[in-house]
Structure 1
Amino acid sequence: MLEEIINWLIGHGIKIAAILIAAVLADRVGKKFIGKAVKGGVKDGTEESTEKRQKTLIRIFSSALSVVVWLVAIMMVLPEFGIAVGPILAGAGILGVALGFGAQYMIRDFLAGLFVIIENQYRVGDVVCLDNTCGGVEDITLRKTVLRDLDGKVYHIPNGSFKMAANLTKGYSRAHMDISVAYKEDLDKVMALINKVGKEMAEESPWKEYILKPIQVLGPGPDSFGESGIIIKVLGETKPLKQWDTLKEFRKRLKRAFDREGIEIPFPQLSIWPRGNWAKQP
């Protein structure tokens, strides 16, 4: 019995070990080659967008390489255990035909994922909305996209399940908001002050590193008339992912400027008119 085990290890064990070692080396060397090739050949606008694109492609190509390498390794190892690969492949073909209709959604996901990558619709690190689900892209594969929202929820979304993909952070981001002021205020004065605050902020560190276009009033006048005040829309452009921090700082500076100038930010108020006998009581 011991002699049979030794003979098997000599005859087959060494081959299995060699196949596994070769698979590990091929996987590691292949991933290093993919990393160098992608970093050397893929460029996309800014340095930040290039890094996102490279990171996404490296993940996808590395995952695909691992699947291929280990499938080949398993097919080479099985005969060493006396398992014929031919019938397995034939059975897999018949099973594939039987499951073809059931696998159509998976094929759809893979094709959609392929177009996401080729068209560079979004990358790892972008903030996107896939239909009504929004969040930061944590991972992309050919089959699914993984998002995480502000609550920390992780969404695994098949690539073929959504009809619209909105990238909020590709190239540049827009910082926009509506500002409401009381009807009694001088609009020319208010708009001039808003533009001044936006321009000064864009000239100061660290915000000048993030702001591409200062936050300014959009158009020559107010955007609409609200229930409690006049609505003024402002708009600016920032580097990707910096619009939210920029708006927070802008709101803080604008509130201080309004307070200094005595400009009122309206809020809903309720007036009560007493009626009945109790209203006449002292």
Structure 2
Amino acid sequence: MSIGPAGSASGTAHTDITQPPVVRIRGGAVAYAGQRVLSDVHLDVVPGDVVALLGPNGSGKSTLVRAILGLVPLSSGSLELFGTPITRQRDRARIGYVPQRHTVGGGVPATVEEIVASGRLARRPLLMPWLGSADRGVVTDAIATVGLAEKAHAQISTLSGGQQRRALIARALAGEPDLLVMDEPFAGVDVANQEILTRTLTKLTSTGVTLLIVTHEIGPIAALVRRTVVLGHGRVAYDGPPTPSVLRRFAGADPDPHSPPAPEPGDSFGIVG
């Protein structure tokens, strides 16, 4: 059994522009208490894409993610998920989300397997919340995918922060998402766990899972990222390939530390700070 979207096949990762965009936003705006946080956002994320969402603190990244997840409404504009307007979206299980916090449990005793199994419930009928053998197979596979098979029956509270982070990813994978949204996946994670997370994400891209990653630390996954979307003052300031100057300025990465920074075509961000 392989972790990935239903019906996907293993192989070389690629985007699929023949299918509706996984995410399509046109003129999107979000306001809190009458104050605009996002303005006139246009964004397409196509199946199989690997997008890094960058920008300074306060640029609107978290708000954009919350809008995509349906947690905050657009005040104007339109949002479609998998070709369906969000107001008619009924298949939220196709989206997996890994929040920014890198610890889980909240003091409640639970094993890694139990935490990951909770991510499977979204795929179960409302009146059939228990997990069958096929569900448990997916849970086992998700735990193995993030390299925690030996910790499956361990209490989540006994794991390191990096291992707990991997358990959160496994929980999202248990829902077999077509889109995986991750908020700062490498925050507070040591180098060894960063390497394991990177291998996990590489494996996911080979199955066709679409990745949208909010990050200030793109270094570990620089080879995976195909697009960078930079937000500034609630607007899309840049949408294009991960050029060296974009990575230097917004992702703490320098692909060639021996070469001095140089302006590049299309790198007029218009962002202060």
Query: Normalised by the shorter chain, which TM-score bucket?
Result: under 0.3
Indicate the structure whose relative CO is greater, using CA pairs within 8 Å and at least 6 residues apart.
2
Q: Which has the larger radius of gyration?
A: 1
- In the superposition, the TM-score normalised over structure 2's length comes to 0.24
- In the superposition, the TM-score normalised over structure 1's length comes to 0.24
